[in-house]
């Protein structure tokens, strides 16, 4: 009579099955439910800081005005960006001396940071902004339209698109430069900061002293 499998074989099978189940569950969660993202630039200061690590909710999410979203870059496929939704399809947007005007009303934006609302962009970037904005321009003088970093519009957001901006209005490469975010590029909404540290602090000793403990498990808004 042949004996059953050795105890070591049984343990190996159990561990192998458990690991495979864990991998499948993680892949499912990462694909459909939650994803981890790191903030690499200062475009969202002072809402999000360089060195913040976020969990992003992906399932059952529809963007709303004012939401923070994670999306695939329209210029660099594979790169993920975090910005704030300023306009939805059909919204008419403009900016005057650093104040955003949406559908005729000035927005109160306590999250926005701008040290120099009179700052002007380079002629090359202004020409680039004009090229993409002109087809969406809804103002009275298309020929004389000359958008700038803090003065542009009005433009109308087309269907299935979003207009996004960084909260650091003087230093954010966003929709003002390259246009609208296709709705299909949206990956989800940040729901929690699960870790945060000062940039380039992994090699600094003691690195624990450079962890931003107060930001861990805080909610990005």
- Per DSSP, the chain holds a count of helices (H) and strands (E) of 3, 11
Q: What's the CA gap between 80 and 44, in Å, rounded?
A: 14
Token representation of residue 91:
């919204």
Of 18, 41, 43, 161, the active-site residue reads 43
Q: Is the pLDDT of residue 13 over 80?
A: no
Distances in whole angstroms, Cα of residue 32 to Cα of each of 38, 55, 98, 185, 187 = 19, 13, 37, 14, 10
At 137 the pLDDT is 96
The matching CATH number, chosen from 2.40.160.60, 3.20.20.70, 2.40.160.20, 2.10.109.10, for 29-215 is 2.10.109.10
Q: Which residues pair with 57 in a beta bridge?
A: 34, 189
> Which is higher by pLDDT, 154 or 17?
154
Rounded mean pLDDT, 88-97 = 96
CA distances from 184 to 63, 67, 116, 214 (A): 11, 16, 34, 34
196 is catalytic: no
pLDDT at 159 over 90: yes
Query: What is residue 158's predicted lDDT score, i.e. its pLDDT?
Result: 96
pLDDT tens digits, residue range 97-147? Answer: 999 999 999 999 999 998 888 889 999 999 999 999 999 999 999 999 999
**Residue 137 is inside which H or E element, if any?**
none
| List 83, 114, 172, 175, catalytic entry | 83
Q: Would the CA dihedral through 56, 58, 59, 65 be positive or negative?
A: positive
| H or E stretch covering 16 | helix 7-28
Provide the residue ranges of all domains of the chain, joining segments of one domain with +. 29-215
80 is catalytic: no
Confidence of residue 220 (pLDDT cuts 50, 70, 90): confident
pLDDT in tens, 19-73: 654 444 444 445 544 677 788 888 998 899 988 888 888 767 789 999 999 999 9
Average pLDDT of every residue of the chain? 85
């Amino acid at each position: 009579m042949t004996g059953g499998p050795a105890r070591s074989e049984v343990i190996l099978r159990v561990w192998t099955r458990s690991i495979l189940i864990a991998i499948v569950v993680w892949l499912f969660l990462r694909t459909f439910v939650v994803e981890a993202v790191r903030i690499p630039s200062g475009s969202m200061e002072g809402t999000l800081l360089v060195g913040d690590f976020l969990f992003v909710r992906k399932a059952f999410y529809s963007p709303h005005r004012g939401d923070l979203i994670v999306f695939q870059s329209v210029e660099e496929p594979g790169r993920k960006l975090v910005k704030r939704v300023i306009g939805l399809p059909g919204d008419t947007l403009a900016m005057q001396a650093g104040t955003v005007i949406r559908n005729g009303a000035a927005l109160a934006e306590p999250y926005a940071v701008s040290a120099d609302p009179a700052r002007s962009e380079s002629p090359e970037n202004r020409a680039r902004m004009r090229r993409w904005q002109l087809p969406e321009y809804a103002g009275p003088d298309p020929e004389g339209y000359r958008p700038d970093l803090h003065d542009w519009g009005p433009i109308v957001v087309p269907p299935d698109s979003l207009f996004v901006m960084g909260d650091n209005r003087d230093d954010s490469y966003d929709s003002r430069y390259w246009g609208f975010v296709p709705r299909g590029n949206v990956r989800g909404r940040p729901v929690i900061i699960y870790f945060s540290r000062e940039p380039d602090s992994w090699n600094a000793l003691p690195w624990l002293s450079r962890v931003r403990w107060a930001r861990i498990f805080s909610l990005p808004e």
